[in-house]
Structure 1
Amino acid sequence: MTFQGDGPLDTSGVSGGGGGGRGRIALGGGAGLIVAIVAVLFGVNPGDILGGDGGTAAPQGTSNQAIQQQIDSCTIAKANTDTICRIVATTNSLDEVWPTLMQGYTKPKTVIFSDAVSTGGCGSATSSVGPFYCPGDRTAYFDPTFFTTLSDQLGGSNGPLAQEYVVAHEFGHHVQNLMGTMEEAQRLGSRGATSGSVRLELQADCYAGVWAEHADKGPDAMLAPISQEQISEVIQTAKAIGDDTLSGRNDSEGWTHGSSAQRVRWFQTGYRTGDPASCDTFSARSL
């Protein structure tokens, strides 16, 4: 169990989207995830880079209506067994924690989609891009099948907190958008060991750690006390999606998210301190 209590979840900011209509591109060991997220953050339609209208055709995915019906039925208890409801519950927790840490925080929107989705500011994308945040419409996008890919193909954990870390990472990008950090990242470039993209992604990992440190605190905390085993599952996932692990190379010239060790380090920094100020990857002498 990750979430404690029962009762309905706030689904007002979450909607269902997507549902077939375009080809799905194989994730290919994570290359699609890396390239597409960078495309979104740096103002390029991810479909243009990944060939969103090409690839291998996939069967019709879950319909918008079916996803929306599942979202509307979500409760706290269901979030412990159902992936879509877990995403919803995590957004609820994030929207409770971040206003206590950041003045002027406003909630992003969340879209849970199947197969393909059109955004309100970043073009369109297939499931191959993995979860992403679009600054143009201040919306985080998730295809729940990514979590199966993450555990079965990439070596990440399928543990609940590991999945919640992925959601918290995308909300970290929303915090960056609100703070204007994305503009600073754009000036530093999209590739390389010290690029703006790497600094942006590592900071989002750190912000995910900050959320985790606060999410199980207080009498009204949605998360049950987090165990070391759950943190280990997050670390397993962070390692699995490092640039060096995904590419199989140590050459940092094409890095966009940071190495496995860096992703772990910055998540742990946020979790250890619980302080967003500790996540300043843009001033850090060493990443």
Structure 2
Amino acid sequence: MKWQGRRQSDNVEDRRSISGGGKALVGGGVIGIIILLLNVFGGETGQQIAPILEQMQGGQSQQTETAAPLSEEDKKMGEYVRTLLAYNEDTWTKIFAEHGMTYEKPKLVLFKGAVQTACGGASSASGPFYCPGDRKVYMDLDFFEELKTKFGAKGGDFAIAYVIAHEIGHHIQTLMGTSSKMRQMQQGKSDAEANKLSVALELQADFYAGVWAHDNQKDLDVGDIDEALSAANAVGDDAIQSKMQGHVVPDSFTHGTSEQRMYWFKKGFTTGDIKQGTTFEDIR
């Protein structure tokens, strides 16, 4: 993406030089992997479960607080993230205004190891997520190496852009009341039915990421959309379950299949129309 020289957002909290204030998972292990899978790309349910799973590790958890200078590469990545957030701010401020609404900008927190949020403590194993309690996106950039090496995504800078746009999608859902309505709809439902609603929410966030990419396509490089689709494909519920347990359980899906995630991102990118994000009525 052609991002150098563009405006950078002031709404990034860079906590990478001082990480801690939460329980860091030492060595990761199976529990760390479970937390990662529950939280990939903004799983709010996983955020609630993660502290319980961390307690299961007992002595393997510890409080950490370290200070370390950022490398030049770290600084460059911080600039890239600030620029991506600015792109999202500009896009959604414009789209909201076109629909007679006012966009409230979220914060984005960069951390290493562990972090405290209004949704509780989280480790880097949680993956990127959005916390509606404080309306902040949380990211440990080391996740993207995991995405490439463990889940088979192509990697590349635009995978980061896709993830940020997806998490901002969850912020859009908070502002528009979609998230709270979804939680109300889940009450009294079976686990399978509640999971379908969770899938609809996640796919809509993928759709919004596509809308963002549509609005900024003049600044995209050749291969950027392929990188986003590769990331979406890698974190489909069916792809993750097949890789981790050798079989899939559709009723347990919470984020959507690889096909669904790619479909809704592409639909957002093709249409650029937020009214087309009808995942709750039309889960493909």
TM-score range, shorter chain: 0.7 to 0.9
User: Could you report, residue by residue, the CA deviation over 1:143-191 in whole angstroms, capped at 9, with x for unpaired residues?
Assistant: 0100110011111121111211011100000000000111122134395
Alignment of 1:54-73 (within 5 A): 54=58, 56=60, 63=67, 66=69
Higher strand share: 2
DSSP 3-state at the match of 1:174: helix
1:235: Cα distance to partner? Answer: 1.0
**Residues 113/251 of structure 1: CA separation in 2 closer, same or farther (3 Å cut):** same
Instruction: Give the number of equivalent residue pairs.
Output: 267
What residue number does 2:169 align with? 172
Deviating more after overlay: 134-143 vs 11-20: 11-20
Alignment of 1:1-287 (within 5 A): 2-6=1-5, 9-16=8-15, 19-20=19-20, 22-24=23-25, 25-26=28-29, 31-36=34-39, 40-41=44-45, 44=48, 46-51=50-55, 54=58, 56=60, 63=67, 66=69, 82-102=76-96, 103-119=101-117, 121-189=118-186, 192=192, 195-217=196-218, 224-227=219-222, 229-248=223-242, 249-284=247-282, 286-287=283-284
1:41: Cα distance to partner? Answer: 5.0
Identity %: 33
Q: Which whole-Å CA distance do the structure 1 matches of 2:235 and 2:253 have between them?
A: 12
Higher helix share: 2
Aligned residue identity for 2:19: G
What residue number does 1:78 align with? none
Question: TM-score when scaled to structure 2?
Answer: 0.82
Aligned residue identity for 1:213: H
**Residues 126/29 of structure 1: CA separation in 2 closer, same or farther (3 Å cut):** closer
Q: Which whole-Å CA distance do the structure 1 matches of 2:122 and 2:2 have between them?
A: 31
Q: Gapped runs of 5+ residues in structure 2?
A: none
Q: Which whole-Å CA distance do the structure 1 matches of 2:261 and 2:59 have between them?
A: 30
1:55: Cα distance to partner? Answer: 7.6
CA contact (8 A) 1:191 1:197 kept: no
CA contact (8 A) 2:151 2:234 kept: yes
